[in-house]
Structure 1
């Protein structure tokens, strides 16, 4: 990689190729982009680059390859694994896609939408809704995260149980290679078996293989009827029993089925303004349910009421509140979406984005609780996640008085214990947040060596100079 003085000189060459607003070097303007959302990762950069077209992205990457300047792509900067934060060397440039923010096409005949990488997720949802369609990806950060970021991380969210992850939603992809070549693949093909599935590699690669500039997504009929409930239960095992009962009656109409422990609920109620519990009393565990259907006359409220009544009779359910209005439904889901903010305000935490087989969720949670009680008795184990697809976010909340200088060592120790349990269950150390910079060492430990070598070979093929987001996903040798 070039020395910083050489890179500064080469940056002058780039200025001749881009409009002045595309290159930002003012430290104050760059500062918000140099740390992650949680404040755990901090870095430095030579400049913040803000292209306004695919052609300018191509120009930047040709320049970066010629000068061997590291490039760190960044969307809404909502990464929970440090994947969009540069290192501390100051040699890299940050590549913001925020100005590529057009909805390019909406085709109602084929139910597709093409959006540029800088589009805010909530804006894409609204664009689909304006044409009486549903774009089902829904995240807590949907008001700020960008399309390029959700594609680069293969985001999941609360609707995976019905609609799948981003990889299941993307039909076409436009991206720019490290050498500046633009791969034009936005055609909304629902079947394409011509050669290797390159877009599947780029999706979820966290900016280490290519820079995503646009994507074509599947759209769905907008739900005409819905039903939302918050349920109180005694255990995760009861949550799976409730899911089984619901599947027997509602089938594919289950859009969301989320699990939360009471300790996590307590933090949310205490630390996030505007949150209230719509149940008469607290319970050990909670489930958030959303049903949706395209038939406006579908009695989903009645269906959900019947299933919950059966669950109550069978001792599976302790209590439930069914939303009677859209406002009540939003208030219920606000409890779920506010978790990340509550955890950020709670003080020192060590969080994980793990997944196991759905049937293993109760035993996995029990194993984590037992490990935490034995190895970290001063910490509090918290759980929240997409139980319908086995993605459980494990959070260990540490005492507020924990010395700052001890946090890194405690975090490493907690990670080792949690991921050992994940491996025992044959699960994954990250289900939707990605490896980023936080988990590169753990990937080396937990991935099969032969699989890791294939990953390195793919990286070499896409980015032979190693300039794209170096240090993310794969540890630098």
Structure 2
């Protein structure tokens, strides 16, 4: 990028918005896992929507690529700049105000840079619940959550991010500000442009604020960890819980013993809730508006029956909040445990819940056949069919990054071939980003893919917004 281009931006913005030194920019140029890294002419941290608009007007005039970034916690390289070094990173963390909470209508209006945990707390302080819950909730931002249509552990009850967003404010590639921050449960005025933005990963516009749905806070909750012999037993348990605890299941997660071993090995203070290791574990949370003792009694009754008939091998029900947090910490610690364990290729797949057992068996067999050194590991939200497939390789298994990337591509092809057999999805909640852009055409109806390209051209005719993400460069 020519120096005069950046000088033109400096004339519009306060100097504190523009970071240009290598030291200042470093935290924004690589992804959380360290797999993707890029370069940028500058990192821009605007204070206002007006500054976002000015940046995009400048970028359009100078044909400068813009890489929107939230908390930088993504797993597919969607917020990482490319290696060309001609673009700028647009980091939105300073747009972090919670603007309004309406307890009558159960809505919250918040800027895109707000941290998820802070939004959860603001809702709780108002006696409400914002149900999105992720392992990275202490650092991920609302704009990034919306841009990737994040899922989390409560999809089984509350849906994905798309079901939680009522309205959006955003800025187009040419700097035009679009005001769509309506807090309406019903709004049938023309095409639903909001839903195009949700999951678009910063390729169509830059989200600056959102109106979100809130819910009454459950008066009681109960958590449990169960040991099961197989994924099929987990699905059987889910069916029984849905039958006996109608509408009260908030989370239902599955983890293989290999993943549990990595989590426990990473922190000596952690303890397995059940008496002995098992092939698989299920994490359960149920919530209700009634008394806690009644809820715990109902969950205990269902799990007691499952122990008797062999559906589960063992169960531990949390007796207090500390025990519940300890159970869920095991589930949330997976990403960090995998990062410590060594080179791995992770996937964000989904299939119909009934197909999960057969899918896991097929993926495991395919990986063991094609990649004998790899350990197949599985964890995910089995209640909505979203399974994270991880192929963990020995620490010394690759001569360098290029060798790893070549193997990772082959692993992806192997896993995605099984996904296609089950008519599933190669991206359930993490997005397409950089890592899957080349795979998307092969896993999308050709007519639908052409429509996606047409939408991109309409919103971003110059191709400056997050180039190379979601859609491969033409």
User: Helix, strand or coil for the counterpart of 1:59?
Assistant: helix
1:458 aligns with 2:455: yes
- Aligned pairs for 1:432-443 (under 5 A) are 432-443=429-440
* Whole-angstrom CA distance in 1 between matches of 2:414 and 2:326: 36
- Aligned residue among 412, 418, 422 for 1:421: 418
* Whole-angstrom CA distance in 2 between matches of 1:297 and 1:343: 35
Change (3 A) 1:163 1:404: farther
Cross-structure match for 2:375: 380
- Aligned residue among 266, 276, 280 for 1:271: 266
User: Helix, strand or coil for the counterpart of 1:171?
Assistant: strand
- Aligned residue among 460, 465, 470 for 1:473: 470
* Whole-angstrom CA distance in 2 between matches of 1:322 and 1:373: 35
* Whole-angstrom CA distance in 1 between matches of 2:324 and 2:412: 35
Runs of 4 or more, structure 1, over 4 Å off, are none
* Whole-angstrom CA distance in 2 between matches of 1:219 and 1:298: 25
1:139 aligns with 2:110: no
* Whole-angstrom CA distance in 2 between matches of 1:306 and 1:404: 54
Cross-structure match for 2:305: 310
* Whole-angstrom CA distance in 1 between matches of 2:95 and 2:367: 45
CA-atom RMSD, angstroms? 0.9
- Aligned residue among 322, 343, 346 for 2:317: 322
Q: CA deviation at 1:271?
A: 1.5
After TM superposition, the structure 1 stretch with the greater mean CA deviation from structure 2, 333-342 or 244-253, is 244-253
Q: 1:272·1:342 contact (CA, 8 Å) conserved in 2?
A: no
User: Helix, strand or coil for the counterpart of 1:125?
Assistant: helix
Cross-structure match for 1:334: 329
* Whole-angstrom CA distance in 2 between matches of 1:273 and 1:36: 28
User: Helix, strand or coil for the counterpart of 2:168?
Assistant: strand
Give the TM-score of the pair, scaled to structure 2: 0.98
* Whole-angstrom CA distance in 1 between matches of 2:46 and 2:116: 19
User: Helix, strand or coil for the counterpart of 1:231?
Assistant: strand
Q: 2:129·2:215 contact (CA, 8 Å) conserved in 1?
A: yes
- Aligned residue among 36, 40, 44 for 1:41: 36
* Whole-angstrom CA distance in 1 between matches of 2:139 and 2:113: 10
* Whole-angstrom CA distance in 2 between matches of 1:367 and 1:190: 42
- Aligned pairs for 1:238-277 (under 5 A) are 238-277=233-272
- Aligned pairs for 1:105-254 (under 5 A) are 105-254=100-249
Q: 1:257·1:288 contact (CA, 8 Å) conserved in 2?
A: yes
* Whole-angstrom CA distance in 2 between matches of 1:35 and 1:321: 40
Give the TM-score of the pair, scaled to structure 1: 0.98
- Aligned residue among 349, 358, 363 for 1:363: 358
Q: List alignment gaps of at least 5 residues for structure 2.
A: none
* Whole-angstrom CA distance in 2 between matches of 1:264 and 1:282: 12
User: Helix, strand or coil for the counterpart of 1:229?
Assistant: strand
Cross-structure match for 1:412: 409
Q: CA deviation at 1:398?
A: 0.6
Q: List alignment gaps of at least 5 residues for structure 1.
A: none
* Whole-angstrom CA distance in 1 between matches of 2:18 and 2:253: 42
* Whole-angstrom CA distance in 2 between matches of 1:274 and 1:461: 53
Q: CA deviation at 1:272?
A: 3.5
User: Helix, strand or coil for the counterpart of 1:180?
Assistant: coil
- Aligned pairs for 1:280-295 (under 5 A) are 280-295=275-290
- Across the two proteins, how many residue pairs are aligned to each other? 472
User: Helix, strand or coil for the counterpart of 2:368?
Assistant: helix
* Whole-angstrom CA distance in 2 between matches of 1:450 and 1:46: 37
Q: CA deviation at 1:274?
A: 3.4
Q: Spell out, residue by residue over 1:386-405, the C-alpha distance to the aligned partner (whole angstroms, 9 max, x if none).
A: 00000000000011111233
* Whole-angstrom CA distance in 2 between matches of 1:24 and 1:320: 52
User: Helix, strand or coil for the counterpart of 1:283?
Assistant: coil
Q: CA deviation at 1:298?
A: 6.3
* Whole-angstrom CA distance in 2 between matches of 1:273 and 1:149: 33
Q: Spell out, residue by residue over 1:9-51, the C-alpha distance to the aligned partner (whole angstroms, 9 max, x if none).
A: 1111111111111111111010011000000001000100011
- Aligned residue among 1, 23, 29 for 1:28: 23
- Aligned residue among 436, 445, 449 for 1:448: 445
Q: 1:272·1:338 contact (CA, 8 Å) conserved in 2?
A: no
Q: CA deviation at 1:315?
A: 0.8
Change (3 A) 1:404 1:213: farther
User: Helix, strand or coil for the counterpart of 2:246?
Assistant: helix
Q: 1:117·1:212 contact (CA, 8 Å) conserved in 2?
A: yes
* Whole-angstrom CA distance in 1 between matches of 2:417 and 2:301: 41
Q: 2:222·2:292 contact (CA, 8 Å) conserved in 1?
A: no
Q: Spell out, residue by residue over 1:395-445, the C-alpha distance to the aligned partner (whole angstroms, 9 max, x if none).
A: 000111112332111111110010000001000001000000000111122
* Whole-angstrom CA distance in 2 between matches of 1:292 and 1:195: 37
